[in-house]
Amino acid sequence: MTNEQDSPLIKAVKQASSEWKAAFNSGNAKGCADQYEPDAVMHARPFGTFTGHKEIESFWQKLIDDGFHSVEYINPTFEVVDEQSALLTSGWKMNKASGVIHRELWVLQKDGFAKLRDDDFEVTG
């Protein structure tokens, strides 16, 4: 690849990440969960580990119900792992919390869209 940041994979990851943030910021927990693969694993420190759409959607719904919104990523970086997957790391902040994304593993699906397979983030403030 000439420029990894302009690759179709990175473009798909950036689009999917934007869709996840838009869903969260509009209070749509199902839209958040839809950005994950069906058997995805989410490590939400210090809350625990959540597996699959149902558990992941419930986690995001609780946060939304508790009044969390306006998430922004701070200085996100993208690293191509292979032809089908890329890592996103970033700081983040929202109206009631902030933290770090240690690892979002996005995987290109057969339909050309990226989905989260593994999500590891932490609340630090």
Q: What angle do CA 2, 81, 115 make, to 5 degrees?
A: 105
Determine if the pTM surpasses 0.75: yes
Q: What's the pLDDT tens digit per position in 77-123? A: 999 999 999 999 999 999 999 999 999 999 999 999 999 999 999 99
What are the domain boundaries of the chain? 4-123
Q: What's the pLDDT tens digit per position in 34-59? A: 999 999 999 999 999 999 999 999 99
Q: For residue 1, what are its two tokens?
A: 């690849």
Instruction: Please tell me the predicted confidence (pLDDT) of residue 3.
Output: 55
pLDDT beyond 80 at 5: no
- Reported as a pLDDT band with limits 50, 70 and 90, residue 1 is very low
Q: How far is CA 85 from the centre of its chain?
A: 14
Transcribe 6-70 into DSSP letters.
Answer: GSHHHHHHHHHHHHHHHHHHTT-HHHHHTTEEEEEEEEEETTEEEEHHHHHHHHHHHHHHTT---
Which of these CATH numbers, 3.30.70.20, 3.10.450.50, 2.60.40.420, 3.10.129.10, describes 4-123? 3.10.450.50
- Reported as a pLDDT band with limits 50, 70 and 90, residue 6 is confident
